[in-house]
Amino acid sequence: AQKVTQAQTEISVVEKEDVTLDCVYETRDTTYYLFWYKQPPSGELVFLIRRNSFDEQNEISGRYSWNFQKSTSSFNFTITASQVVDSAVYFCALSSARQLTFGSGTQLTVLP
Amino acid sequence: DVKVTQSSRYLVKRTGEKVFLECVQDMDHENMFWYRQDPGLGLRLIYFSYDVKMKEKGDIPEGYSVSREKKERFSLILESASTNQTSMYLCASSIPSLADTQYFGPGTRLTVL
């Protein structure tokens, strides 16, 4: 069985602070994909990134960066210099056997 | 641009009513999915479909059924709505591969009184 754990239920930071959202996963599959989605207050889940299990290179996209460590089964997401518009619920997800398993989400609030 | 639309953003129904939630995608995706989202539980898969007229149960199918008569449309049906089905319902679609990224609609917030 697959499992995704996002231990941080809520995080609150002040604008311009850096923040890291944790994601730990469990799977017995050797081939899998990991995702991060953002859900702003409007409700629609927005795809942010996809990573496959064979590529442990970290990725940076603007203020966003992702750290994939297979040894610890973690796929953490860092926002540098956070902004109020980053306030949202962030979901980590694991894809295997054509289905996505989601974590319970982390509510990020960025205060001005 | 990827587009998944859902028939209603907000819906209020009474216990025992039959409820239809519609989802349409314009990306010619084979796969479509229905999830419900509840606080602290994340997204849970209700049903999915890999092709027209095909359907498979997800993790929590009880109390729900689905219909996929056309490739672009996937309907979720609550045969007899109950208060514990009050939730946010999200539809998604994807191409069929392990790496398939799912694209989501805006969601329907259903309240059953």
Closest chain A CA to residue B58? A99
Helix (H) or strand (E) holding A102: strand A99-102
- What is the C-alpha separation between A20 and B37, in angstroms, rounded? 23
Instruction: Give the CA-trace dihedral at B86, B92, B98, B101, to 10 degrees.
Output: -120
pLDDT tens for each residue of B53-100: 889 999 999 999 999 999 999 999 999 999 999 999 999 998 777 567
- What is the C-alpha separation between A21 and A3, in angstroms, rounded? 17
Asked if residues A46 and A37 have their Cβ atoms less than 8 Å apart, the reply is yes
B50 CA to chain A: closest CA distance, Å? 10
Looking at the partner chain, which of B41, B88, B98 has a beta carbon nearest the beta carbon of A98?
B98
Chain B contact present for A45, CB below 8 A: yes
pLDDT at residue A61 greater than cutoff 90: no
